[in-house]
Chains A and B, each alone.
Chain A
Amino acid sequence: MSPRNDIASSSCGCPEYTSLALSRRALLGSAVLAGGVVALGDAQRGYAVTTASSTRSRLSSTGSVLVVLSLRGAADGLSLVVPHGDPVYYAARPRIAIPHTSLLVPDAMFGLHPALAPLVPLWDSGRLAAVHATGMPTPNRSHFAAMEAIEDAAPGSDERNGWLNRLLGQLPGTSPLQGTALGNQVPTSLFGSQPAFVVGEVDNADVAGADSDGRRVAALRHAWGGSARLGRAVRDALAGADGFAPVRAVPAGAPTPTPYPDSELGQAMSEVSRIVRANVGVDVVTVDQGDWDMHTDLGTVEWGGMRRNAEDLAASVAAFFSDLGAFGDRVTLVTISEFGRRVRENDDYGTDHGHGNVMLVAGAGVRGGRYYGSWPGLADTLDADLPVTTDYRSVLSEVVTRRFGVSTAQVFPGFAPAPVGVMA
């Protein structure tokens, strides 16, 4: 049994999986009461409950981890995964098109941008796939409105509850770290009734000045006991800092032959890896890569923002999976961008706001080494977008149902997902 498939095959909603999840949850309580270590399976796969202190849970609630990587600013999917088989692509982009001879792992229609080279081993080993022409059903060209809509993922609802927060509500487990965001703010996707932990750097996720006498933490708890919204953030912070102790003890990895790039994303992915490897019950992690809004100087295959960002993206993700080692068999990473860019290039070696885009799916459970989606064909007019043929929620639904074994009716209310085939 390949490590990639064992959890996937047991997470299709079959009874064995369900009872396992429930029993793990039930056992958490008694483990905490008893203290010590209760092994429920192979620790490498996260089925161990370790209670380092009387309150600390190391339960990974399902064994699977989902990493959502947001490409902020609307990445140009037509440059990342190039539709070289569509002649309109070259006609509409005389200067910025990527020559088909330089594309990586091409099939008859698509090929990867050459700067994505660090991802080719993942592709070749069947752990990376691309789904093209994805997005929201109707275009929204405002970065901010689109980000909110795509992360809220419940059109027509006024409730401020992101899709990942709703997912957490469906998962077993009690860790305050179940949903963790890298950065400073709670992203829309994680916002809602379930707690969300936010951390910039793992080593800073601690209460400064907390002494062994516990006075400082006790004082903070008292000060913030009655204050509603802020009080909750403080309580989540204190619980999260406590739960993060094992993460701080895990050193940053130095994967070879693909080290983390010295970039914000590279550093963030290194921190995500520490979080996963520490096994503290994190189910969902969000992380961002910025600077994708390339109205100018997207550039060519030789220079520009696309080359720079694609290199950073590929090197960071490749280093991440290399760093994870065996833990990589539990981690699925998916990229989302708020919308795609227009087909035709503008006068400044850039592109303006469009609609359809590509999503990359990597890691556990992915049927990789292939391009998915239905190609709508491009048009070469001032207004032309890449039309959306696959709702992005269909891709996410497949990831969520296969990896976490939950129904997506609650996660994407009112949405009937179509099969994509990208997840085993």
Chain B
Amino acid sequence: MGKEREQQLLPGRDRHLATRFSYGLTPELARDVRRAGGAEAWFEKQITKPHKVADGAAERLRGWWPDLDRSPADLWQRQVQEVRGGWEVMADYGRWLLVRRMTTRRQVHEKMTEFWEALLHVPVSGDGQFTWRADYGDTIRKHALGRFDELLQATTTHPAMLIFLSGATSTKRAPNENLGRELLEIHTLGAGRYTEDDVKASARILTGWRVDLWKTWQLSYEPEDHWTGHVRVRDFSHANSSADGREVTRDYLHHLAHHPLTARRICERLATKFVRDDPPEALVRRLARTYLKNDTAIVPVLRELVASKEFKASAGRKLRDPSEDVVATYRALGIDVRRPASSASAANAVLWQAEAIGLSPHAWPRPDGSPVDDATWISPARMLASFEVHWSLAGGWWPDDDVRYRKPTRWVPPGKGVRFRDLVDDLSRELLHKPASKRLLETATRATGCRGKERITRDHELAEWKFPRLLAAILDSPDHYSC
């Protein structure tokens, strides 16, 4: 038994990489990693050839929420005619993301899509932008392992972003500063790296992009709205003499994407997300250099990040955020989520679970996007809410429509059963992908009242009705909160 168990677990370094760059290390993912020849080989395949990873189950999920593929005008009409509100469609978007994260075998691509979607943030709430929001996410998804300069072009001039940050109606008469400012502060250079004159010039450059709000929702470029004349933003300067300002927009965004301050800011955020809060300066500097040397290509930066000693030293120390917590819990428990038939179905209700812990996908209400640091998510409210979600999933009590939970018989063999300490170890290996520590065994003992040598059979009270206590004790341990 002991040897067989050892073989099921990935070595520590592999466990770390596959955990940090996924939504939870399951036996299936461990098998993918082993088949690839180790976590590094798996990672390389994930970042360079994600399309080669068969992912039919995840692709089919989109069909569960058909409103996500309606056109902006159609979605708007349905809202006006009170067929279905925009907020409901956006709830579907969050659900799709959560279930996709549970399901996809392209875990790194999914993780990076989320990362960029949080940096280049357009909240899912909002009167107008919901019409374009799913398309916006799809746009980011295409570039998630590509080049940042191309990603930034695609997002800044996307209707969802233009609507959210008031670019869609900004004109030369009184340019709206919203998009011009947040582009500098959040998407590229960072706070305090520009002057108020830079903000005004940034806003002027971006005039001309237009979305036909409340009607067709089509994107257009209107030369008569574009502010012309010389512009300067820090070290970018342009004559901007043409009424068609699309070229100056392109040059400006290219300049910003390649700016050393942008490199720093993006790499600092990457290191915060995938290494730790307040990441070491030396690491950020190395990553920024790689980013600039590779023309803003993302893959070489990721490669350097996971090879770093800082990444290796951070194993098991990163806190899961609310959505990651929920998704990892579904994955750990092997919960089988089925096509939803009603709002009570697990595939739909999962959204409220993420919200209860603190945040559903991309619902952060401010332009700076969901935080990637740990500090934000360490609060008593979060802990209590995580306990609640873990408890209800451990028991399989809620959600209980269109979902299948595993039964204790999966872990408790018939007949003579299993010793309690071996049962805890089995569960630890499956749920946490590591052997049970002394502390975990003691925690499990306190939670259930069972002693280590006690024999657990299928008619033991633990198997019959106390099993959720044991599962929750494992899910509520520090090893499940971190990744």
Contact = CB atoms under 8 A, between A and B. Distances in A.
Nearest to B200: A382
Contacts of A181: 379
Contacts of B379: 181, 184-186, 196, 198, 233
Contacts of A291: 365
A223 B478 contact: yes
Contacts of A170: none
Interface in B427-469: 439-440, 442-444, 446-449, 468-469
Given A229-B374, A230-B319, A346-B175, 17 more contacts: A73-B366, A142-B185, A184-B359, A185-B382, A198-B381, A200-B381, A205-B384, A209-B387, A209-B469, A219-B443, A223-B477, A230-B481, A234-B380, A237-B387, A241-B384, A295-B177, A352-B176
B225 to A, nearest CB: 10
A187 to B, nearest CB: 10
B178 interface: yes
Contact of B446 (A206, A222, A346): A222
Of A197, A208, A293, the most chain B CB neighbours within 10 A belong to A208
Nearest to A291: B365
Contacts of B306: none
A189 to B, nearest CB: 14
A204 interface: yes
B381 A184 contact: yes
Contact of B388 (A186, A196, A208): A208
B380 A348 contact: no
Interface of B: 165-166, 169-171, 173-178, 181, 185, 191-192, 196, 199, 319, 322, 356, 358-359, 365-368, 374, 376-385, 387-388, 390-392, 395, 439-440, 442-444, 446-449, 468-469, 472-473, 476-478, 481
Contacts of A296: 166, 169, 176, 178
Contacts of A218: 446-447
- Main SS class of interface, A: loop
A290 interface: yes
Contacts of B196: 141, 383
Contact of B366 (A143, A226, A348): A143
Contact of B176 (A144, A219, A350): A350
A234 B380 CA distance: 6
A73 B123 CA distance: 14
A145 B478 contact: no
Given A185-B376, A219-B444, A142 B385 contact: no
Given A204-B388, A206-B384, A209-B391, A185 B446 contact: no
Contact of B191 (A144, A184, A198): A144
10 contacts: A198-B379, A200-B381, A209-B468, A215-B448, A218-B446, A219-B447, A230-B378, A237-B381, A241-B380, A346-B175
A71 to B, nearest CB: 13
Given A208-B391, A215-B447, A219-B446, A237 B380 contact: yes
A347 B171 contact: yes
Contacts of A199: 380-381
